Copies of this chain bind each other. A is one copy, B any other.
Amino acid sequence: MLQLTKRTEYGLIALVYMADRAGEIVSVREISEQYPIPRRLLAEVLKDLCRANLVHSHRGATGGYVLARAADQITLGAVVVALEGRPSLTSCETLAPAVHGECGIEHICPIRSPLHRIREGVWHLMERTTLRSLLRPKPIPVAIVAGTEPNDPPHSPTP
């Protein structure tokens, strides 16, 4: 269904949240109280992001998570890979490498290599998109609560 999973959405929201508080340790509870995201599920997601080294964890009473790198060093692609695996677009690619290297009709499959190109395009798009570019150009946390975008003031998002 050519759509990101909820896990990925939640992960991105959490990452953006953490990016806004760069350096601070943020707990799952804190994030889940800001958005209608099930706490336990978000916890699972953060664990995955931690395993993928996108965030660092701190255990114990005042524990939580912190971005492992700067926001412009974290790509959408990396997040997607961490939370739902490398996208494949066709089932060929999902199964092929695991089985015997082919999808069974590989030698006659007329859409294989062209679709690869598409996949590459999508993939490239996600690799080029950094967490930073997902951030709103608004510095104040309070603004997050209040602001829909009135008319995109002074900032220019990305070149």
Contacts and interface: CB of A to CB of B under 8 A. Distances in A.
Interface stretch (A39-47, A48-56, A132-140): A132-140
Contact of A9 (B9, B91, B129, B145): B91
Interface residues of A, number: 48
Contacts of A126: 118
Interface in A66-111: 76, 80, 84, 87-91, 94, 104-105, 107-111
A91 B6 contact: yes
A60 interface: no
B125 A121 contact: yes
Contacts of A107: 148
Contacts of A25: none
Given A111-B12, A135-B110, A118 B1 contact: no
Interface of A: 1-6, 9, 12-13, 16-17, 20, 34-36, 76, 80, 84, 87-91, 94, 104-105, 107-111, 113-115, 118, 121-122, 125-126, 129, 133-136, 144-145, 148-149
Given A1-B3, A4-B89, 10 more contacts: A1-B87, A2-B84, A2-B87, A2-B89, A6-B91, A16-B111, A110-B135, A111-B134, A121-B125, A125-B125
26 contacts: A1-B1, A1-B3, A1-B5, A2-B2, A2-B4, A2-B87, A3-B88, A3-B90, A4-B115, A9-B90, A12-B115, A13-B111, A16-B111, A107-B148, A108-B144, A110-B136, A110-B144, A111-B134, A113-B149, A114-B129, A114-B134, A115-B134, A118-B125, A118-B126, A122-B122, A122-B125
